Chain A
């Protein structure tokens, strides 16, 4: 790549004295580097990603990169942690907004799919590239997946249906969800993810709730998808 690391990007801070506090600049530099890691890793894959390209996209010097991270892997893992943190925040907020456990699941999974669809690069990093970035990355992924298992542990009202193997069912549900998402992200169909919600949510809920409840959530999700489609048709720019 011929881009000079000195070349200014849109996000680069103006040089010289800008009166910003040093802590702000450091924070901002770190975020810019992590954002650049997401872009470069998604486009080229972790294996082909270089620090040169990351600093060129971030508009920081090589030295600045090494002030924050000791090598390529450290930058990648920090980007993954940040992405997972964001996803967890979005999903938790949506999950807690539901009145019943099945509705929480529908809202949480819906928010997850929408978040990924809105940021295909970010989706690629946390769903696909994390698998190709070595043993430490796989450990991070395992603990991130474990974090999401707990959403699928049903509340008291729905625990009896799932039976004593509820933790296994939760683990399986996360695996099923991951496999569907992975397939779409790998084939660059990330933007279509939200449209899968109705069929996906029915499938994911069936091990835990009876068919009437799963069907009701299917209809609610289908309605949501329809509204979303209409919104997009009336304002294509949105």
Chain B
């Protein structure tokens, strides 16, 4: 393939998930499935091709390499998760009792999409490199969503809300590692209470 006939690369620079290219969607879902099953470290491009039913040539039109595909998967999945949480918690729930609702939305979202949950929660740190930074940014975004709710509830500083997000993250991570994703939604009331008190 020459430079001339290579189409403009789509992909990581454009994580807007609303109208995702169907090929890119297939690669992303295949990457997520493989990562959930065997972890990023042991996932190869060949695994992604097999699960996506995609040719090598098509894959490399979209992505330069495995890492770029993973970072794109991560970007799309985290955007979708954040959008889902924003939708289901609604604009009016930033009042003092509003922690449990968005938290339940996160837990239900992760429980219903275990492969995406692995991409979001258990893998970015072990994938290393750029994904660590992106992961820190995503946790920051979750914290910023949480912050107004906590402040409205009498909560205080940034450190407390970071600790609260870290607490939830750690509990979710352990459940996923232990294969207990389906237990997550039931934890919403207890976790909401804990988050409220950690950040009180």
Contact = CB atoms under 8 A, between A and B. Distances in A.
Given A172-B170, A175-B167, A179-B162, 6 more contacts: A131-B126, A175-B168, A176-B162, A177-B163, A186-B132, A206-B197
Nearest to B157: A199
Contacts of B193: 165, 207
A92 interface: no
Closest 5 CB pairs of A and B: A179-B166, A175-B170, A176-B163, A172-B167, A176-B167
B167 A135 contact: no
B187 A180 contact: no
A199 B199 CA distance: 10
Contact of A134 (B41, B159, B167): B41
A34 interface: no
A172 B191 contact: yes
Interface in B143-163: 157, 159-160, 162-163
A172 B171 contact: yes
Contacts, number: 100
A220 to B, nearest CB: 18
Given A132-B125, A206-B200, A200 B163 contact: yes
Interface of A: 45-47, 131-132, 134-135, 138, 142, 145, 165, 168-169, 171-180, 182-183, 186, 196, 199-200, 203-204, 206-207, 211
Contacts of B163: 176-177, 179-180, 200, 203-204
Interface of B: 39, 41, 125-126, 128-129, 132, 136, 139, 157, 159-160, 162-171, 173-174, 177, 187, 190-191, 193-194, 197-200
B194 A203 contact: no
A225 B89 CA distance: 40
Contacts of A199: 157, 159-160
Contacts of B177: 138, 142
Contacts of B194: 165, 168-169, 172, 207
A126 to B, nearest CB: 14
Given A132-B126, A172-B198, A175-B171, A203 B41 contact: no
B12 to A, nearest CB: 21
Contact of A203 (B139, B160, B168): B160
Contacts of B170: 145, 171-172, 174-176, 178-179
Which label, helix, strand, loop or mixed, suits the secondary structure of the A interface? helix
A131 to B, nearest CB: 4
9 contacts: A131-B132, A135-B41, A138-B177, A165-B190, A173-B167, A175-B171, A176-B162, A196-B159, A199-B159
A104 to B, nearest CB: 19
A180 B159 CA distance: 7
Given A132-B125, A142-B177, A176 B39 contact: no
A206 B190 contact: no
Nearest to A173: B167
Contacts of B200: 206, 211
A171 B171 CA distance: 7
A168 B190 contact: yes
A179 B162 CA distance: 7
Contacts of B132: 131-132, 186
B167 A45 contact: no
A189 B156 CA distance: 22
Contacts of B39: 135
B167 A179 contact: yes
Given A131-B126, A135-B41, A175 B159 contact: no
Contacts of A186: 132, 136
Contacts of B166: 175-180, 182
A199 B177 CA distance: 31
A47 B125 CA distance: 13
Contact of A179 (B157, B169, B191): B169
